[in-house]
Structure 1
């Protein structure tokens, strides 16, 4: 192992990556400070960008993110990276947004990004690893901000112009994630970018028709399809970074470390669901991707199995809620979520169950949604019995 990676393990990870598991006290203190400064930051942003529309402001943030990522990418070719430039871009254009999401979702992205940039500048952390952490954690910040906008829309439903504005903002943040979606579509022959655009179209139509349920259903399509994107990038077979890192570790451990960092950073965008409903699986995935672990011992099959088991448990929870809230809009929303979590695992389930069995499960998920829509609970329970049997067989 090179000196850079030794320093990385003993320095940055001890301070930063460990926060994702047990650094809650420091995180809460940071969030408290962020909250205290929130009004001041907002006022400054408003003063500086008074003549810009919200979408223009977001486009400028996305451009700064891309500029910073491109600068850090120079490290891959052993070119000199201007860390001062990236740090300035981050502090001036992105940090306020990241801190807001940290405060809202109880995360530590700002501390992790800031520490990574400092470690890159000092030479304690390989520059291309810094690039991955900055890139993927900023993608998480944009993803979390989309979710924030969706929450705002729910709170302001009925105020059509306000809702339209917030939806446009969510779409503007998606521009930072679209390339990642398209890359996974190319790798797995999926159509996630098309599905996300369809979800946005459904939301726009729902706003015009004042149909809140239709909006929430469209939102679930966008949200869960982005989760599928991050999963395919992190732990799916064969193109997930778990598999790439394990393969690379045999011949080039340092390059494998970069891929391990990519897997870890992508996982941060989806781990909250697994932590809530599949704790054991979430801990296994985190421990495998965490760069304090030996990359040569990384077990991609264990990671993949944990994802399949974990998302199956999440789907089972959604179906349980669909029955619990029968007759309410939430029953339909969670029925769709159950189907979308099954779809997240499509590649894996076709391999594990066979294409015919997967197609049968997919059809059952669609039939369950139809039964909820028809308010036929007896039929829904009958279909759900078969779905649960299959999903329980996938859990560990």
Structure 2
């Protein structure tokens, strides 16, 4: 096994080797409805000859990142008590981002546009408006990243290697300018270091992906390494929302109300990026999180423990769903598909490692993650009996965390 895949294994599940899987079903589900209609995707799907002539700096993604920077630079003037040119913010968003954002998810556009309008009119405190614009755009970029991941695979499948590399460079651009700065804050807040560091996981994922792209037959490895990159970003957004719930409760208890709505908006903004996915695990829990983070809700009603439990419940629902799919696929002899679903389950289980450990203790948590690794290996070895036994153990332990 390649060094990059060994690194993936150590990060994903306690140092145990996980075999590469194919295209991940989570990403496919999130990008299926946007691949054919988006304006920037039509640019992304140019011929290989055109890709050779285009640098990443000339790509649609680079132009969008530049627009995002221009908007945030202008909005950040309010931190220095300087006047914000809201006309500039609106015109830059409208000309360079709005169409692309709408094609990914019109809810993101509504969130951003509401922030611009409220900031311009003074209907909302301008720092609240700033967070709506910033976090709404970050949510768009997260889904854009997922589309680009699939675009890399599609280009490689069509033997358009230059085009594939261009899309990968676009992903790296987003990681450097959008995702890593956010992940660094989560690492700092939760004191995540080494293999637990979100930034380290994102960068390790990109390194493994790049190695796979440069190899002759590396797209199976690429599909696995993609999980490190994508789900680490996903985890950073989940932990961002979770951390703001903690900060809000602390501020309420301390009688500090000055920045409550700003923090609540940040929690909601980060949550926008992942709420659709989480609803697939537990629709009720996902809806309750939306209700709590909504800026019309009273901040004092946000309790950190409740938010954490709702997140865990939603993640647990997704994990259970993948376990059920794995059992069905294994019975039908779809080994490759069952490995993909098992990988999804294990990556999401890794995402909630902190609350799981808090709930059942380090020793039992270690045993749970060891079982998850063994479950995947049993599926890979087409050992249905062992896989079913381990699945029951994992889901039973996870249920105890949820309860």
Normalised by the shorter chain, which TM-score bucket? 0.7 to 0.9
Counterpart pick for 2:386 among 364, 371, 379: 379
1:296 equivalenced with 2:297 (yes/no)? no
Shift of 1:215: 2.1
> How far apart, CA to CA, are the structure 2 residues paired with 1:224 and 1:284?
23
Shift of 1:146: 0.9
- Matched with 1:16 is none
What does 1:204-215 align with in structure 2 at a 5 Å threshold?
Answer: 204-207=210-213, 208-215=215-222
1:392 equivalenced with 2:399 (yes/no)? yes
What does 1:57-76 align with in structure 2 at a 5 Å threshold?
Answer: 57=59, 58-76=61-79
- Matched with 1:163 is 164
Shift of 1:265: 0.6
> How far apart, CA to CA, are the structure 1 residues paired with 2:148 and 2:321?
25
* Cα distance, 1:375–1:42 mapped onto 2, change above 3 Å: closer
Shift of 1:393: 2.1
- Matched with 1:244 is 247
Structure possessing the higher relative contact order (Cα contacts under 8 Å, 6 or more residues apart): 2
> How far apart, CA to CA, are the structure 2 residues paired with 1:332 and 1:212?
16
> How far apart, CA to CA, are the structure 2 residues paired with 1:249 and 1:120?
25
In 2, are the aligned partners of 1:253 and 1:295 still within 8 Å (CA)?
Answer: no
In 2, are the aligned partners of 1:128 and 1:258 still within 8 Å (CA)?
Answer: yes
- Matched with 2:109 is 110
> How far apart, CA to CA, are the structure 1 residues paired with 2:258 and 2:239?
23
Shift of 1:256: 0.6
Shift of 1:141: 0.9
| Structure 2 residue matching 1:253: 3-state secondary structure | coil
1:172 equivalenced with 2:173 (yes/no)? yes
> How far apart, CA to CA, are the structure 2 residues paired with 1:360 and 1:324?
25
Shift of 1:77: 4.5
What does 1:343-382 align with in structure 2 at a 5 Å threshold?
Answer: 343-382=350-389
> How far apart, CA to CA, are the structure 2 residues paired with 1:377 and 1:160?
39
In 2, are the aligned partners of 1:217 and 1:333 still within 8 Å (CA)?
Answer: no
Unaligned runs of 5+ in 1: 1-30, 44-49
Unaligned runs of 5+ in 2: 1-32, 45-51
- Considering only aligned residues, what root-mean-square deviation do their CA atoms show, in Å? 2.6
**Offset from partner CA, 1:140-165 (integer Å, 9 cap, x none):** 11110111112323444422413222
* Cα distance, 1:279–1:258 mapped onto 2, change above 3 Å: same
In 2, are the aligned partners of 1:282 and 1:310 still within 8 Å (CA)?
Answer: yes
> How far apart, CA to CA, are the structure 2 residues paired with 1:51 and 1:160?
13
1:331 equivalenced with 2:338 (yes/no)? yes
| Structure 2 residue matching 1:81: 3-state secondary structure | coil
* Cα distance, 1:42–1:218 mapped onto 2, change above 3 Å: closer
Shift of 1:219: 1.5
- TM-score, length-scaled by structure 2: 0.80
